[in-house]
């Protein structure tokens, strides 16, 4: 059977593995200690923070079919948030998501989705691949010097700049991938012993260094410990991604306090996470990267618009190309 190595175990990598598992023997390689990618959850007992993707929508039949079993199994649930849009600290729009197209979240946390999907897959965790070598087949070398050999294909399912560091410059799409830009972001996580008086569940903010706020503890089937997420604007993160994290956290607490009209400095739990590759610059069209001669392929949410559904669609279309042109 054909052997495929997939680097990255976010939704794009996991979906690709599931869609091709009947055609190939697949091993996923993940540098972190668990699967999730940007559909991540920070657990700081008793608080839970979805500090990456906040929710997702379903707009295509293919993704709807893929996600339906998870809805039936209770792994995802609809989030009927009381949503507002703010200009700095003033509400300019209100929406009841119960009356709109569904938004979904993982249950009881966002990383439950990929953990559920990956339960029967072969995954090597804590394994950061740093080099690819091509002989009669592909070999992957990790940062500890361990070699994983005899793969017919390598698929990267990681951010474009990380993929470019691994892919040979002879790869047909190397320059295209290398030149794709991604924006960074900060996720501020605040936990409180008592409920904070905020009369909405989620908010998009404009003209601020904060772009998003949500009360994670109000998502479906969460615990009752008040957990708040604030995500920075891309512009602020780009200027400060290398700055002292304590200084960034204190500033974002101050800015979020102003936006919400609440003093958040007394949070019992405070933390911040910097995402170096959070959001892709919008491209003119969706892209697929597949080269049958070099036996290399690339997928990721950034190939299809950057949303959670984009990660799946990139995998879905890559699997379709494989089945039409290789298997």
Task: Render pLDDT for 3-43 as a digit per residue (tens, 0 to 9).
Answer: 999 999 999 999 999 999 999 999 999 999 999 888 999 99
Query: Tell me, what DSSP letter sits at residue 80?
Result: -
Residue 237 — very low, low, confident or very high, per pLDDT cuts 50/70/90?
Answer: very high
Residue 286 — very low, low, confident or very high, per pLDDT cuts 50/70/90?
Answer: confident
* Cα distances (Å, whole numbers) of residue 85 to 15, 31, 89, 140, 185: 33, 36, 10, 46, 19
pTM (2 d.p.): 0.96
Q: Do domains 1-35+118-179+285-327 and 39-113+182-280 have the same CATH topology?
A: no
Beta-bridge partner residues of 78: 104
pLDDT single digits (tens) 268-280: 999 999 999 988 7
Residue 284 — very low, low, confident or very high, per pLDDT cuts 50/70/90?
Answer: low
The CA-based angle 38-186-311, given to 5 degrees, is 20
Residue 178 — very low, low, confident or very high, per pLDDT cuts 50/70/90?
Answer: very high
* Cα distances (Å, whole numbers) of residue 4 to 20, 30, 127, 222, 322: 9, 14, 16, 37, 12
Is 14 in a helix, a strand, or coil?
A: helix
Looking at the chain, the whole-number percentage of residues with pLDDT higher than 70 is 99
Taking the domains of the chain in order of start, what are their residue ranges?
Answer: 1-35+118-179+285-327, 39-113+182-280
Domain 1-35+118-179+285-327 in CATH 3.40.50.10090? The answer is no
Which region among 19-28, 167-176, 278-287, 293-302 has the lowest average model confidence (pLDDT)? 278-287
CB 83 within 8 A of CB 202: yes
Taking all residues of the chain, what is their mean pLDDT, rounded to a whole number? 96
Tokens of 125: 């965790």
Q: Region 64-79: what's the mean pLDDT?
A: 98
Residue 135 — very low, low, confident or very high, per pLDDT cuts 50/70/90?
Answer: very high
**Does the pLDDT of residue 282 top 80, yes or no?**
no
Output the pLDDT for position 279.
83
Which region among 58-62, 122-126, 202-206, 305-309 has the lowest average model confidence (pLDDT)? 305-309
Beta-bridge partner residues of 94: 84
CATH class of 39-113+182-280: alpha beta
Alpha-carbon gap, residue 71 to 87, rounded angstroms: 34
């Amino acid at each position: 059977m054909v052997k495929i190595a997939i680097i990255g175990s976010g939704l794009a990598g996991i979906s690709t593995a599931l869609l091709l598992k009947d055609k190939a023997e697949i091993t996923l390689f993940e540098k972190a200690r668990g699967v999730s990618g940007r559909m991540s959850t920070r657990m700081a007992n008793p608080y839970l923070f979805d500090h990456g993707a906040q929710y997702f929508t379903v707009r295509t039949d293919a993704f709807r079919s893929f996600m339906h079993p998870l809805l039936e199994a209770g792994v995802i649930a609809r989030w009927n948030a009381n949503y507002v849009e703010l200009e700095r600290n003033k509400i300019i729009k209100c929406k009841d998501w119960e009356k709109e197209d569904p938004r979904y979240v993982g249950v009881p946390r966002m990383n439950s989705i990929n953990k559920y999907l990956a339960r029967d897959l072969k995954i090597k965790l804590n394994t950061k691949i740093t080099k690819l070598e091509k002989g009669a087949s592909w070999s992957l070398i990790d940062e500890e010097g361990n070699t994983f050999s005899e793969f017919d294909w390598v698929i990267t399912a990681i951010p474009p700049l990380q993929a470019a560091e691994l892919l040979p410059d002879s790869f047909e799409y190397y320059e295209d991938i290398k030149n794709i830009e991604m924006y960074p972001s900060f996720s501020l996580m605040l936990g409180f012993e008592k409920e904070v008086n905020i009369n909405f569940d989620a908010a998009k903010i404009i003209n601020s260094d904060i772009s998003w706020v949500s009360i994670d503890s109000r998502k479906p089937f969460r615990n009752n410990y008040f957990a708040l997420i604030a995500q920075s604007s891309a512009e602020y993160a780009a200027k400060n991604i290398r700055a002292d994290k304590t200084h960034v956290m204190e500033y974002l607490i101050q800015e979020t306090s102003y936006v919400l009209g609440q003093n958040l400095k007394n949070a019992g739990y405070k933390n911040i996470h910097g995402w170096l590759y959070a959001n892709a610059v919008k491209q003119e069209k969706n892209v697929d990267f597949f080269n049958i001669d070099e036996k290399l392929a690339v997928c990721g949410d950034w190939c299809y618009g950057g949303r959670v559904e984009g990660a799946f669609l990139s995998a879905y279309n890559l699997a379709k190309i494989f089945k039409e042109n290789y298997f």
